[in-house]
Structure 1
Amino acid sequence: MHLERLGEVMKLYSYWRSTTSYRVRIALNLKGLSYETCPVNLVVGEQRARDYTALNPGKGVPTLVLDDGTVLTQSLAIIEYLDATVPEPPLLPTEPLRRARIQAAAQTIAMDIHPINNLKVLTHLKTQMGLTADGQLDWFRHWMTEGFAAYQDLLPKGVAFSFGDSPDLADICLVAQLYNAHRWGVDMSPFPHLLEIEERALSLAAFNDARPENQPDAA
């Protein structure tokens, strides 16, 4: 099934600064799929509204709604669905070992960095644990630095992107997370290779159009 050929227009519920939403926007753009952006303002708590939690019980973004009403949540699951239903260009290879290595790098960001740096965790640390603003920045920077070091060590040499000469799932996760790294002042001097990958990726329309600042709800 090729969604674009069927004329389907999907709805992507997202927040402009959400890195998980950023991932899905990149994937949709790489696949050449049309979608309508439905902003969910996480800062004011729209993700907790009853009509939204009926779509996404996890009270987060992104949520992808197909034109038949099918609802998908969790960015990696959404991207895997898109890759299965719209195979070109592939975001994950079929060869098992290469696929596992790309997934390991992507999960280093999606499972090791992101979950402990997202808004609800930081809000809890602030309101329940008394973490100061400086403490929050230290927390952000520490876990991103740890994760980027692990990610960089997983990469092969001599290719344009993370694992090859075209972007894949790992690059999608990396570029989205680097947005937060720049935003929160992470020292990227130990990671010049990651910045080179980011520059190449953002020169592509699929990545550039998905940037947070290019979204309709960007503040």
Structure 2
Amino acid sequence: MDDSLHLYSYWRSSAAYRVRIALALKSLAFDTRPVHLLKDGGQQHAAGYVEINPQQLVPVLLHGRRAIRQSLAIIEYLEEAWPEAPPLLPGTARERGRVRALAQLVACDIHPLNNLRVLQFFERQWNVPQAERDEWVRHWIVEGLAAFEALVADDPATGAFCHGDVPGLADCCLVPQLYNARRFGLDLGPWPTLARIEQACLALPAFKAAAPETQPDAPTGA
């Protein structure tokens, strides 16, 4: 049986970034199959890739012949398929609910509003100027991160990381979103707990290995 792992990824995709962090935290070897979201009109729209993912999005994880789509579903799949590897979810139902809620705050509420296809629709269909598109992005990032900060700042379950002193699913989602926040010129000063957690994460080898600029498809000098 083929147990190899292949990740269809784009170096700057925050959804793919989440999965790369999870793979690294679990010490799972994989190879990257780059899908450039801008070249050739967007390689995610090519017929061969549409067969792999009809949504025309990254990431997709191939485990042998099995294709798993959607970043959170992929991470939960890794958790279930490799339970012996370091866990990404805590031990009790209540704790897992908290961590999943934090992860979904990013993956379901912030990120979809700022996805490339949304911004391209604004540009191509409605001719929304770049400055207004950027303001849209910043608005929803600020709204979401303010809520995230409020949820973790004074919660006794928060430790060095989003939940306790071991990085997990919520951290996999938070760090890429903070990367995006900086891309759009946002200062993390209003969210000191998030900034502290990010620094704890970025000090770890798994997060360094998953960083956008270290990916094989990252442009020189990224």
Q: TM-score, normalised by structure 1?
A: 0.94
Runs of 4+ that moved beyond 6 A: none
- The one-letter code of the counterpart of 1:75 is S
Matched residues in 2 for 1:178 and 1:24: separation? 15
- The count of aligned residue pairs is 213
1:110 to 107, 112, 117: 107
Measure how far apart 1:130 and its partner are. 2.0
The answer to whether residue 114 in structure 2 is matched with residue 145 in structure 1 is no
Find the counterpart in structure 1 of residue 16 from structure 2.
21
Question: Any stretches of 5+ residues in structure 1 without a counterpart?
Answer: 1-5
3-state SS, counterpart of residue 194 of structure 2: helix
Find the counterpart in structure 2 of residue 70 from structure 1.
66
Q: Any residues of structure 2 matched to 1:31-46 within 5 Å, and which?
A: 31-44=26-39, 45-46=42-43
3-state SS, counterpart of residue 105 of structure 2: helix
3-state SS, counterpart of residue 80 of structure 2: helix
Find the counterpart in structure 1 of residue 173 from structure 2.
173
Matched residues in 1 for 2:74 and 2:104: separation? 14
More moved, 181-190 vs 205-214: 181-190
Measure how far apart 1:176 and its partner are. 0.9
Matched residues in 1 for 2:63 and 2:104: separation? 25
Matched residues in 1 for 2:22 and 2:209: separation? 11
Find the counterpart in structure 1 of residue 160 from structure 2.
160
More moved, 42-51 vs 93-102: 93-102
3-state SS, counterpart of residue 12 of structure 1: strand
Q: Any residues of structure 2 matched to 1:196-207 within 5 Å, and which?
A: 196-207=196-207
Find the counterpart in structure 2 of residue 11 from structure 1.
6
- The one-letter code of the counterpart of 1:179 is Y
Measure how far apart 1:94 and its partner are. 3.5
Find the counterpart in structure 2 of residue 183 from structure 1.
183
Measure how far apart 1:81 and its partner are. 0.4
Q: Residues 2 and 63 of structure 2 are in contact (CA less than 8 Å); yes or no, is this contact kept in structure 1?
A: no
Matched residues in 1 for 2:185 and 2:79: separation? 33
Q: Residues 100 and 170 of structure 2 are in contact (CA less than 8 Å); yes or no, is this contact kept in structure 1?
A: yes
More moved, 31-40 vs 123-132: 123-132
Matched residues in 2 for 1:176 and 1:90: separation? 20
More moved, 155-164 vs 205-214: 155-164
Q: Deviations over 1:172-217 (max 9, x none)?
A: 1000111111111113210111111111101111111100000000
Find the counterpart in structure 2 of residue 3 from structure 1.
none
Measure how far apart 1:7 and its partner are. 8.2
Matched residues in 1 for 2:43 and 2:2: separation? 30
- The one-letter code of the counterpart of 1:39 is P
Matched residues in 1 for 2:161 and 2:63: separation? 30
Question: Any stretches of 5+ residues in structure 2 without a counterpart?
Answer: none
Matched residues in 2 for 1:134 and 1:170: separation? 30
Q: TM-score, normalised by structure 2?
A: 0.93
Q: Deviations over 1:6-58 (max 9, x none)?
A: 98321100000000000000001111111010000001210011111101111
Matched residues in 2 for 1:161 and 1:196: separation? 8
Percentage identity across aligned positions?
49
